[in-house]
């Protein structure tokens, strides 16, 4: 018999055939382990059924011991199954040889019958399926959804209707047909999801019609982002994020997912490597990934915002493809937030949605977020949408609709808004872009007059400004002091530290406002800076006099 370790010494030109045969073995072992798992489960059910009938305290204690043993054994079996499945499913050539393993019957075993008066007990270690896409926590969440909401899903597909579906009607029931006043499908009302799919197909310029079944809507993009982190990453794992980035991501990742956002630090200085400030390159992604792994961080994905917040950068299609190829090489998920996609007001800049790419490098690991809070200025509606080509991910995220769903009335109004494409194209977007251009021009003119550097991009609702010359010394402590100065002058600016910016002294100014309040805001902005400089000079004079 040959030594299995000798496989590592196989020449490269023979390796693929050996791998294929090995993977066939993995598939056979996987099927045997699944059968073994079912046999073990049946055995323990019969064992505890016989003991349950005794009803004595001693027998009850024995039952508890048996169940603990089942937990340990089943957990070990599940780990073996997971490893075998990962190896067997890694090669697409084996899918035809695994018809039984790809069928739902293998993954959803029916529990053995129990006595009518027997307490139902389930092992916490027994997942209904094994996934090489979702995290362990994502598997548990998806499993919970599949096992607890099947009846509700059936109801959504077969609702009572007085004329079209009267079979559920009874004379003594107070039937209310108003769907908007009822709990909706946790993924969102089907009509809204269909409209979101049509809307994104049109405005993202998708090469083919997007599938409503791949859409999930929740109460805000942060809810979508948090849910994705929950189902794609386990606690303590990490996602790469170019900095500076939207600070709300840090909050939700810490609050719910307990997933670390590992920074890919970008610099403002223009060098040979940086042809523009805060330029993201694949080399920087590779470097950050290596740094994370050296710190023993398991990186599960990459988070991008396009257009970028707070920089306002719009990634070219070539750049997007480079980032996606990088993620595919390292088997990383990519979460792309496109919440500002309709707020590109500079006509010389072309926005490319990731959904417009005809052949995504890894569609199963590419997930897009969009909402109406910024592009339509209706953040109070609390609407965020996920589009993913991976139905497994969509299913796992759907359960969060139980906690983060949107009211039916709001969903109806959103659907009507997204339907009115003629008004959006002919009236709303031209007017909104014109007003954003005017406000942006006014604010940047004032900044130039104050000789304040800023990152200049024609999209989004904000300008990223450099106030390092007002920090003496240039530290994050002084940045915080200047931030307080703005607050004292009734100005709310976001400081760079909250965006994980590596360099102190950067602030974000929101300019999406009408002329009168914007004029007042810029007057207060100038006054706050003058006041800050004056206090610094007084302090310097006092220190000099003390010496």
Closest to 285 in 3D by CA, of 236, 326, 337, 239: 326
pLDDT per residue over 376-421, tens digit each?
999 989 999 999 999 999 999 999 999 999 988 889 889 999 999 9
Question: What pLDDT, on the 0 to 100 scale, is given for residue 352?
Answer: 96
pLDDT in tens, 505-519: 999 999 999 999 999
**Do 411 and 186 form a contact (C-beta atoms < 8 A)?**
no
Q: Facing residues of 302 across strands?
A: 240, 334
- Span 183-212, average pLDDT: 93
Predicted structure pTM score: 0.70
**Cα separation of 200 and 433, whole Å?**
19
User: What pLDDT digit, counting tens, does each position of 426-451 carry?
Assistant: 999 999 999 999 999 999 999 999 99
- Give the span between the Cα atoms of 78 and 33, in whole angstroms: 9
Contact status, residue 106 vs residue 364, Cβ threshold 8 Å = no
Tokens, residue 356:
């417009």
Report which of 124, 191, 146 is spatially closest to residue 406, judged by C-alpha positions: 191
Rounded Cα gap, residues 282 and 308, in angstroms: 16
Among 215, 192, 211, CA closest to 411: 192
- Domain 432-546 classified CATH 3.40.50.80? no
Query: 112-145 burial, b if ≥16 CB within 10 A, otherwise e?
Result: eeeeeeeeeeebeebbebbbebbbebbbbbbbeb
Residue 265 CB partners (closer than 8 Å, separation 6+):
243, 284, 288, 502
Max mean pLDDT among 73-87, 130-144, 365-379 falls in 365-379
More confident call, 164 vs 411: 411
Residue linked to tokens 């170019």: 242
Of residues 432 and 158, the one with the higher pLDDT is: 432
User: Cα 465 to chain center, whole Å?
Assistant: 28
Q: Is the Cβ–Cβ distance between 160 and 175 less than 8 Å?
A: yes
Instruction: Tell me the average pLDDT across 215-219.
Output: 96
Cβ neighbours of residue 201 closer than 8 Å, sequence gap 6 or more: 208, 209, 210
Beta partners for 466? 506
Domain boundaries, the chain: 14-130, 190-266+277-419, 432-546
- Cis amide linkage into residue 466, ω under 30° from 0: no
Between 482 and 181, name the one with better pLDDT. Answer: 482
Q: At CA 428, angle to CA 427 and CA 432, rounded to 5?
A: 120
- Going from the C-alpha of 6 to that of each of 10, 15, 299, the distances in angstroms are 7, 12, 31
H/E element holding 423? helix 421-423
Helix (H) or strand (E) holding 369: strand 366-371
What's the mean pLDDT when you consider all of the chain? 81
Q: Which of 383, 415, 378 is nearest to 220 (CA)?
A: 383
**Angle between helical axes of 136-148 and 150-157 (0-180°, round to 10):** 60
SS (H, E, C) 298-311: CEEEEEEECCCCCC
Q: pLDDT value at position 135?
A: 75
How would you class 336 by CB atoms within 10 Å of its CB: exposed for 0-12, middle for 13-18, buried for 19 or more?
Answer: buried
Kindly give the residue spans of alpha helices, DSSP state H, lying in 265-381: 282-294, 317-329
CATH class belonging to 190-266+277-419:
alpha beta
For residues 155 and 331, the model is more confident at: 331
Higher pLDDT pick, 302 / 3? 302
- Rg over alpha carbons for the chain, rounded to the nearest Å, is 28
> How many CB atoms sit inside 10 A of residue 414's CB?
25
| Dihedral angle over CA of 356, 245, 483, 453, nearest 10 | -60
Mind listing the pLDDT tens digit for each residue in 245-288?
A: 998 888 888 778 889 999 999 999 888 788 889 999 999 999 99
pLDDT, tens only, 25-47: 666 677 677 778 777 776 766 66
pLDDT band at 64 (very low <50, low <70, confident <90, very high): low
- What's residue 24's pLDDT? 63
């Amino acid at each position: 018999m040959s030594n299995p370790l000798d496989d590592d010494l196989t020449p490269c030109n023979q390796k693929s055939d050996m791998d294929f045969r090995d993977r066939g073995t993995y598939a056979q072992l996987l099927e045997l382990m699944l059968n073994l798992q079912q046999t073990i489960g049946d055995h323990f059910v019969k064992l505890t059924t016989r003991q349950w009938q005794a009803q004595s305290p001693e027998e009850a204690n024995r039952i508890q011991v048996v169940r603990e043993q089942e937990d340990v054994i089943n957990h070990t079996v599940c780990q073996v199954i997971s490893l075998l499945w990962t190896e067997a499913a890694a090669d697409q050539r084996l899918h035809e040889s695994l018809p039984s393993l790809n069928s739902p019957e293998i993954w959803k075993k029916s529990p053995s019958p129990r006595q009518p008066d027997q307490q139902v007990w389930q092992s916490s270690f027994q997942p209904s399926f094994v996934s090489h896409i979702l995290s362990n926590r994502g598997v548990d969440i998806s499993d919970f959804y599949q096992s607890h909401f099947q009846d509700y899903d059936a109801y959504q597909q077969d609702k009572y209707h007085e004329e079209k579906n009267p079979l559920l009607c009874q004379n003594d029931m107070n039937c209310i047909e108003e769907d908007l006043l009822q709990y909706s499908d946790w993924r969102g009302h089907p009509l809204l999801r269909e409209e979101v799919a049509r809307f994104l197909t049109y405005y993202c310029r998708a090469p083919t019609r997007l599938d409503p079944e791949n859409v999930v809507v929740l109460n805000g993009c942060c809810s979508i982002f948090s849910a994705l982190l929950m189902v794609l990453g386990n606690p303590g794992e990490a996602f790469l994020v170019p900095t500076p980035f939207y600070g709300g991501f840090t909050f939700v990742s810490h609050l719910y997912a307990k997933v670390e956002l590992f920074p890919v630090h970008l610099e403002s200085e223009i060098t040979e490597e940086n042809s523009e400030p805060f330029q993201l390159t694949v080399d920087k992604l590779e470097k950050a990934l290596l740094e994370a792994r050296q710190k023993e961080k398991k990186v599960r994905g990459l988070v991008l915002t396009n257009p970028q917040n707070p920089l306002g950068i719009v990634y070219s299609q070539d750049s997007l493809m480079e980032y996606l190829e990088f993620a595919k090489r390292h088997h990383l998920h990519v979460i792309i937030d496109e919440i500002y996609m309709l707020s590109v007001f500079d006509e010389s800049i072309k926005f490319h949605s990731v959904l417009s790419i005809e052949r995504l490098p890894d569609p199963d690991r590419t997930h897009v977020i969009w909402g109406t809070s910024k592009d339509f200025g209706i953040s109070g509606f609390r609407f965020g949408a996920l589009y993913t080509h991976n139905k497994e991910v969509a299913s796992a995220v759907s359960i969060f609709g139980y906690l983060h769903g949107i009211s039916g009335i709001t969903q109806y109004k959103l659907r009507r808004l997204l339907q009115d494409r003629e008004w959006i194209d002919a009236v709303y977007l031209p007017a909104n872009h014109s007003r954003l251009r005017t406000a942006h021009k006014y604010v940047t003119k004032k900044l130039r007059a104050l000789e304040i550097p800023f990152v200049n991009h024609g999209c989004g609702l904000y300008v990223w400004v450099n106030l390092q010359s007002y920090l003496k010394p240039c530290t994050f402590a002084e940045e915080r002091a200047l931030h307080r100065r703005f607050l004292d002058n009734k100005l709310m600016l976001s400081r760079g530290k909250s965006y994980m910016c590596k360099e102190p002294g950067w602030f974000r100014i929101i300019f999406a406002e009408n002329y009168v309040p914007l004029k007042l805001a810029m007057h207060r902005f100038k006054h706050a800076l003058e006041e800050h400089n004056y206090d610094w000079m007084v302090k310097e004079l006092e220190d000099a006099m003390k010496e």
